[in-house]
């Protein structure tokens, strides 16, 4: 393929409008060819060079489309991804990959059989803080990790009228933020032995999970994943404790806010963490701020383009995303049974 990868974005809600459209448009090896949306006027105003399609089937039938990006409600992911693969399109699916591990495995097999790219948008692998943590672990700055705490908390006491907070399949915080937390843990430590998970609705009038607390059991460590929408002091992000030192990090990666503000991906200051984490020495108690690399969401779509055009590695394979769904699904079972579930 010598031309830019011609891409159709399906869905123009928060994820499509805030994340996918600007990141696709910023990649020189991709072209935002079309957007499937009922918001034709808004799409044309923001992306005048993109065609507006009125149905998903139009994108499937269009020979000018090489790649389909699904930014649709979670319960549509499996069906739409399967249809796109069967239509001969490469596919990117926003997280969560699917609603069940069985669906994820089926799609991974289908993509392999069709010889097509199937990737999942686990963009938090390219958060500045996570990139920094990977470097610290690779350089053995902390010693062997024995306790890992990853929190993604928000202060949203009022229930919003949107599908993510409704009672439908795939709604709720465990499907929304759980995939981010699980994927990062699996990137660092691999498959856990078991999971214990507590899921709850804590807000008055809530219809979907808004509190999630999971413990992943490994032979030599414990990984604690937490997300909720009821924390006024939502600063704590990571607390990683090794045999020699700890790493403490407050504040979320800035790239989402930069995208919301309209900053062009890759512009000056892009992804720079204003609140670097601190390494605390276990012997001396000395504290050292560690400024790691900036966050780099554009790297995901650059890698997707390379995979479609040149057969380069998939930045987030369907097999990796299926492993995330297995842990997420086991968490649902654990919460329902109120017991640890082996993996």
Low-confidence stretches of the chain (pLDDT < 70) are none
Question: Do residues 179 and 276 lie in contact, with contact meaning Cβ atoms separated by under 8 Å?
Answer: no
The 10s digit of each residue's pLDDT in 262-274 is 999 999 999 999 9
Residue 170 phi, psi dihedral angles, 5° rounding: 85, 0
Per-residue confidence (pLDDT) for residue 191, from 0 to 100:
98
Per-residue confidence (pLDDT) for residue 328, from 0 to 100:
98
Per-residue confidence (pLDDT) for residue 14, from 0 to 100:
96
Tokens for 167, please give them: 């009672």
**Cα–Cα distance for residue pair 118/148, rounded to 1 Å:** 30
Long-range contacts of 319-323 (CB under 8 A, 24+ apart): 319/108, 320/120, 320/122, 320/183, 320/186, 321/93, 321/95, 321/97, 321/104, 321/108, 321/120, 321/122, 321/183, 322/97, 322/101, 322/104, 322/105, 322/107, 322/108, 323/186, 323/191
The 10s digit of each residue's pLDDT in 228-240 is 999 999 999 999 9
Per-residue confidence (pLDDT) for residue 2, from 0 to 100:
79
Half-sphere exposure of 61 (CA within 13 A, CB side): 6
**Cα–Cα distance for residue pair 310/308, rounded to 1 Å:** 6
**What are the residue ranges spanned by the domains of the chain?**
5-123+299-315, 124-297+327-342
**Cα–Cα distance for residue pair 221/207, rounded to 1 Å:** 34
Considering only CA atoms, which of 134, 108, 128, 94 is closest in space to residue 14? Answer: 94
pTM as predicted: 0.97
Per-residue confidence (pLDDT) for residue 1, from 0 to 100:
72
Q: In CATH, which of 3.30.360.10, 3.20.20.140, 3.50.50.60, 1.10.3720.10 is domain 124-297+327-342?
A: 3.30.360.10
Any idea which fold 5-123+299-315 has? Rossmann fold (3.40.50)
**Cα–Cα distance for residue pair 71/63, rounded to 1 Å:** 21
Tokens for 16, please give them: 């499509």
Per-residue confidence (pLDDT) for residue 225, from 0 to 100:
98
Question: Do residues 33 and 64 lie in contact, with contact meaning Cβ atoms separated by under 8 Å?
Answer: yes
**Cα–Cα distance for residue pair 64/61, rounded to 1 Å:** 9
Which residue spans within 259-302 are E strands per DSSP?
A: 277-281, 287-290
Per-residue confidence (pLDDT) for residue 37, from 0 to 100:
98
């Amino acid at each position: 393929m010598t031309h830019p990868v011609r891409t159709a974005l399906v869905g123009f809600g928060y994820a499509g409008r805030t994340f996918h459209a600007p990141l696709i448009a910023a990649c020189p090896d991709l072209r935002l060819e079309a957007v499937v949306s009922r918001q034709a006027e808004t799409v044309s105003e923001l992306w005048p060079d993109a065609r507006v399609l009125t149905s998903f089937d139009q994108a499937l039938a269009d020979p000018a489309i090489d790649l389909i990006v699904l930014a649709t409600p979670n319960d549509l992911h499996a069906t739409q991804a399967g249809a796109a693969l069967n239509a001969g399109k490469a596919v990117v699916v926003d997280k969560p990959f699917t609603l069940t591990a069985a669906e994820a495995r089926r799609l991974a097999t289908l993509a392999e059989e069709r010889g097509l790219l199937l990737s999942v948008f686990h963009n938090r692998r390219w958060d500045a803080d996570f990139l920094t943590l990977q470097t610290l672990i690779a350089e053995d700055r902390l010693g062997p990790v024995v306790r890992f705490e990853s929190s993604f908390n928000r202060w949203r006491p009022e229930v919003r009228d949107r599908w993510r907070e409704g009672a439908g399949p795939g709604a709720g915080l465990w499907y929304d933020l759980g995939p981010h937390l699980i994927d990062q843990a699996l990137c660092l430590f691999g498959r856990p032995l078991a999971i214990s998970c507590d899921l709850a609705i804590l807000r008055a009038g809530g219809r979907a999970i808004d509190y999630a607390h999971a413990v992943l059991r490994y032979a030599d460590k414990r990984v604690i994943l937490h997300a909720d929408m009821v924390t006024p002091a939502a600063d704590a992000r990571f607390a990683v404790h090794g045999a020699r030192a700890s790493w403490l990090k407050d504040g979320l990666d800035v790239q989402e806010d930069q995208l919301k503000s309209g900053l062009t991906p890759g512009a000056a200051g892009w992804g720079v963490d204003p609140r670097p984490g601190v390494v605390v020495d276990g012997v001396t108690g000395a504290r050292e701020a560690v400024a790691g690399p900036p966050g780099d969401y554009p790297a995901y779509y650059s890698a997707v383009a390379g995979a479609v055009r040149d057969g380069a590695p998939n930045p987030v394979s369907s097999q990796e995303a299926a492993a995330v769904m297995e842990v997420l699904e086991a968490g649902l079972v654990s919460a329902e049974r109120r017991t640890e579930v082996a993996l």
